[in-house]
Amino acid sequence: MASFATPQDMQNRTQGAIAATHPFLQTELDAATRAIRDHCGWHIAPNEQKTFRRTSPWPERVWLPAMRITSIDAVTIDGATISPATVGFDPDSGWTSLRGCTAEVTFTAGFASVPESILTLTLAIAAGGLGAPLGQTREQAGGVALTFGRAGGALQTAPGSSDVATLAPYTIGYVP
């Protein structure tokens, strides 16, 4: 799956300080994208078809792990094929009118393009990984000190962190 940002995005954002040809740039962009997707619980962008499968010992409602659901394309519940046209769903939360022990639902979801805040965070995480790969947060030489705002290429998930606040509108959760 493609990264949220390209090496050219990084070169443009940093005004050339990090070149698009940096040997580890694509790796850091991929890692930042994966960290964001893992935290949010879904792929976010682009708008694409996904298949959700679940097996449970008892019948449960089917909740699709995505936002921005644009269509339900195919449905099989407990071995029976169901017309997608008869399925009710909430495009923002992923809740459906489906219920069963086994479910396989093919659906289309996601933003058409990467939201600007996700692009910016991807670049910040990747730049942190390139700028402080050993996790340093401070350097000092004599009376001159430099403190980095982001150490290493990690998503900052502590309560109240700016990364968590940025990702809140894109993070899915189980809604009873």
Q: For residue 176, what pLDDT band results from cuts at 50, 70 and 90?
A: very low
Number of H-type helices and E-type strands within the chain: 4, 6
Q: How far apart are CA 137 and CA 134, in angstroms?
A: 9
pLDDT, tens digit, for every residue of 3-17? 999 999 999 999 999
Closest CA to 89 of 124, 114, 63: 63
pLDDT at 129: 84
Domains in the chain: boundaries? 7-43+116-170, 48-109
Q: What is the pLDDT of residues 65-113, one digit of tens each?
A: 999 999 999 999 999 999 999 999 999 999 999 999 999 999 999 999 9
16-31: pLDDT as tens digits = 999 999 999 999 999 9
Return d(Cα 57, Cα 153) in angstroms, integer: 40
- C-alpha triplet 165, 132, 24: angle, nearest 5°: 95
CA proximity to 170, closest of 128, 121, 105, 103: 121
DSSP assigned state of 52: E
Tell me how far apart the alpha carbons of residues 111 and 91 are, in angstroms, rounded to a whole number.
12
Q: Measure the CA angle with vertex 94, ends 91 and 41; round to 5°.
A: 115
Kindly give, in sequence order, each residue whose CB lies less than 8 Å from that of residue 99, ignoring residues fewer than 6 positions away.
59, 60, 61, 62, 77
Mean pLDDT over residues 140-167, rounded? 78
Q: What is the mean pLDDT of the chain?
A: 90
